[in-house]
Amino acid sequence: MSLTSAPPAGPAFRLPSPRAMLPPASLALIIVAIGFVQPNAISYFGFNLMLNLALPIAFATMAQLCVITVNDLDLSIGSFVSFVACIAATLLKQDPLVGIAVLIGCIAVYGLVGALVHLRNLPSIVVTLGMSFFWLGAAVMVLPQPGGSAPDWLKLMMKLKTPVIPFAILMGIVLAVVVHFGLMRSAAGAVLRGTGGNPAAIARAGWSLLKAKVTMFALAGFFGVLSGLSLVGLTTSADANIALRYTLLSIAGVILGGGEFVGGRVSPIGAVIGAMTLTLAGSLLSFLRISPDWQIGAQGAILIIVLALRAVANRMEGARK
């Protein structure tokens, strides 16, 4: 019988890294600040009101996450969401079959953009910037002036009052969990993330980089459609410029949630938390009576602070190793 003792078992529970804790800590800090400035806002009604537009931003952030996963960047998501909103407020209400067909075609166009970026080795920033003008022009053609009306079923869905937890929070949790398991806990998700992390290895293993790129861009289009539909369901009307800010907000949400621009390093759960944080930050700035003209700059300052803290967290993790 061998006298060699078995290796000691690892710890049953490992504390999350400082980097992983930054997104929820940022969200918690914003909530605490809101509670200090406006205590009445920390309630079901208050969160329902403050997070009214959080779900469309979360969908747009998830769309951006899909593109960032494959080491690209989408500068057209804001104008695309605006176009979808215009379609939803016009064609989808007047002729649902035609409206659905157009939205499916939009997702297909997003997939083709991914194929173009890969096959021609074009910078995604340039291609998607060009597409942003295309989507904006198409939105103006569909709805030259603000107006239209959301389908009744869409308004009912987005105005749903769920018990205990506001609808936006519940849907945000569902979105985060579904994408997390699909992208972070499945074999197909590992391949898709590997396309951004180590494309040479993925290609050597026999996987198609083209299919991966098309898939992620098509998924971005799908989440962009959900963003536009949910936005119209909340606002009940549309405008060609209704979601132009979503481009920057979606990028900020992904980065705030722990994502990286390169390497396929993303966090679906963190991205949804980032979107919620940015939405609540806007409410906090409103409570502080900061002019809307300064709010974008203030949100950018929040992002810079979080990134600085992330750099410190990365150093702490490096020191541990």
CA dist 321 and 308 (Å) reads 20
What per-residue confidence (pLDDT) applies to 307?
75
Q: For the residues 183-191, what does the mean pLDDT come to?
A: 92
Question: Quick one: tokens of 184?
Answer: 């972070």
Encode burial over 154-168: b for 16+ CB neighbours within 10 A, e otherwise: bbeebeeeeeeebbb
Answer yes or no: are the C-beta atoms of 192 and 69 closer than 8 Å: yes
The pLDDT tens digits for 24-76 are: 888 999 999 999 999 999 999 999 989 989 999 999 999 999 999 999 999 99
pTM of the model: 0.91
| pLDDT bucket at 17, cuts 50 / 70 / 90 | low
What per-residue confidence (pLDDT) applies to 15?
57
φ/ψ bin of 236: left (φ > 0), alpha (ψ from -120 to 50), beta (otherwise): left
The pLDDT tens digits for 197-212 are: 889 888 898 899 999 9
pLDDT above 70 covers a percentage of the chain that reads 91
Helices (H), 3-123: 18-37, 44-50, 54-69, 77-89, 91-94, 96-119
The pLDDT tens digits for 297-321 are: 777 777 787 777 777 776 776 666 6
CA dist 141 and 139 (Å) reads 5
Q: Which helix (H) or strand (E) holds 230?
A: helix 209-235
The pLDDT tens digits for 106-116 are: 999 999 999 99
| pLDDT bucket at 282, cuts 50 / 70 / 90 | confident
Give the position of tokens 């173009």.
Answer: 116
Could you tell me the domains of the chain?
Answer: 53-311 (1.10.3470)
Mean of pLDDT over the chain: 88
Q: Which of 26, 132, 122 is nearest to 81 (CA)?
A: 132
What per-residue confidence (pLDDT) applies to 292?
73
Answer yes or no: are the C-beta atoms of 67 and 73 closer than 8 Å: yes
- Supply φ then ψ for residue 238, to 5 degrees: -140, 170
Query: Is the pLDDT higher at 123 or at 310?
Result: 123
Neighbours of 140 (CB within 10 A): 16
Question: Quick one: tokens of 138?
Answer: 């198409």
Answer yes or no: are the C-beta atoms of 80 and 224 closer than 8 Å: yes
The DSSP symbol for 163 reads: S
Question: Quick one: tokens of 290?
Answer: 């900061």
| pLDDT bucket at 117, cuts 50 / 70 / 90 | very high
